[in-house]
Amino acid sequence: FVYIRKVSHPVKDLKGAGEFKGGGTKFFEAMKEFPCVLIPGIHRGNYQDWRFGVFSHGASPDKVGVAHYALKYGRNLIISDCSSNTVTLAVIEGRIRGALDACIFSPGLLQGPIDLEAIRRIDSHEISATEAFSEGGVRKIFSGRRAIEALALFCAMEIESMKVLMRESEIQDYRICIAGELSENREFMERVESLLNSEVISLGKWSSAEGCAEIAREIFRGRKEILGFRVNF
């Protein structure tokens, strides 16, 4: 977490995933007039488990907000944010230990990992890698209840993968949470609970915004570390 006025280069690279519009840069410049702190994303260089450094990116800053919001349910958590894409975190003793980004495993409704078919289309210059990711969700194949059913399966599988970290840390008592749009879909939540054979807490689609607001309050009160990351303010 770093004071906004100490950041001279907010954009790492204009190339790569996504499409540059400039809105974020304008917002950044406007917010420099206020006492703001930038919430970190999780990526190679700040993973709290070095093994995740195999992947360049684990989660965006809004997912850190979700994790903070979920702390009201305990310090040991598996959190999956399911909506247009799916990102899953493991929080152990109040620190974010693991993060699986949207392009690594479970698809979301719209976006998802680049599979073999997508690689072939990219190599043949039919589509860009960004387009392949943006079209990689379950809705590229399924709609309606079948889309919900498919996504529930992959979300549950990704949650199960994070249980490995819990076992390694000898954590037996932890909660499972789902955030994002689908956390308010009863059919989806019931299916995930059935697949996991476990209670799953719905955090709601506003959990990220509320969690980020809570982080701001904690920093204002003088916190020097949040979710395992130092506060530089």
Q: Give residue 27's pLDDT.
A: 84
- 168 to 51, 64, 108, 164, 172: CA distances (angstroms): 13, 23, 28, 6, 10
CATH number at residue 76: 3.30.420.40
Q: Residue 124 falls within a domain, yes or no?
A: yes
How many domains, the chain?
Answer: 1
Domain that holds residue 166: 42-208
The predicted pLDDT at position 12 comes to 63
Alpha-carbon dihedral angle through residues 106, 109, 112, 115, given to the nearest 10 degrees: 90
Tens-digit pLDDT profile for residues 101-160: 999 999 999 999 999 999 999 999 999 999 999 999 999 999 999 999 999 999 999 999
With respect to residue 89, please indicate whether it lies within any of the assigned structural domains. yes
Residues of the chain with confidence (pLDDT) below 70: 9-22
Tell me if 226 is assigned to some domain. Answer: no
**pLDDT at position 207:** 98
Give residue 68's pLDDT: 98
- Residue 225 included in any domain: no
Q: Specify if 33 maps to a domain.
A: no
Mean pLDDT of the chain: 94
Q: How far apart, in Å, are the Cα atoms of 173 and each of 18, 20, 62, 87, 105?
A: 38, 43, 26, 22, 25
185 inside domain: yes
Beta carbons of 134 and 111 less than 8 angstroms apart: yes
d(CA 129, CA 103): 11
pLDDT of residue 34: 87
pLDDT value at position 3? Answer: 87
At 225 the pLDDT is 96
Distance in angstroms (rounded) separating the CA atoms of residues 217 and 46: 23
Q: Is residue 224 part of a domain?
A: no
Is 21 within the bounds of a domain?
no
Q: Which one, of 69, 68, 86, lies nearest residue 192 by Cα?
A: 86
Contact 73, 175 (CB under 8 A): yes
